[in-house]
Amino acid sequence: MRSILGPALALVLATSACIADENMTQLPETGSVWRLVSLDGAPYPARATLGFPEDGVVAGTAPCNAYSGALRVRLPGFGLGPVRATRSACGELEAERAFFTALGAMTQAEIRAGALVLTSPEGREMTFERLQP
C-alpha cells in the first residue's frame, strides 16, 4: 500500500506558498522603468519617468530634466534623499515642479493591477505604467 502523505503534504505546501505570494506587496524590480500617467487622480500632462536602476537608487526624467537620487527607506516604503537633476528650462516647468513636489511627498510604493502606485499619508497618489521590465 502506497502512502499518500508525501504528495498530499507537497500539495498543501505549494498551495500555502501561492496564498502567501498573493498577500505579499509586489514591488518594482531593479532595472524597471515606469511612466507617470496620473497625479492625484488626474492625468499627468507631460512625460515623466521613474526608474530603479539599482537597489536603493531611483533615476528618471522629469518633463524638462533628468534626475537621480537615493531611497532613504527600503521598499515598500518610499522616501527620497536629496535628488540631483540637470538644469534645463522648458515650457513644462510647472508640470515638473508638480512632479518633484509629489515625488518628495510619497512614502509607500506598491504594484496594483500592473501599475506602480506611490502614496502619501495625506492621500496623494502617483500612478505609473511600466515601460521596461
Cα dist from 95 to 15, 48, 60, 100, 101, whole Å: 46, 9, 15, 9, 10
- Which pLDDT value is given to residue 133? 64
The number of beta carbons lying within 10 Å of the beta carbon of residue 108 is 17
The pLDDT of residue 15 is: 40
* Helix (H/G/I), strand (E/B), else coil: 95: helix
Give pTM, 2 decimals.
0.78
Q: What is the pLDDT of residues 57-66, one digit of tens each?
A: 999 999 999 9
Nearest in space to 61 (alpha carbons), one of 11, 132, 13: 132
Top CATH class of 26-132 equals mainly beta
Q: How far is CA 65 from CA 33, 85, 96, 116, in A?
A: 16, 6, 8, 21
Q: What per-residue confidence (pLDDT) applies to 28?
A: 83
Q: What does pLDDT average to over the chain? A: 84
Q: What is the pLDDT of residue 9?
A: 37
At 18, list the grid cell. 501561492
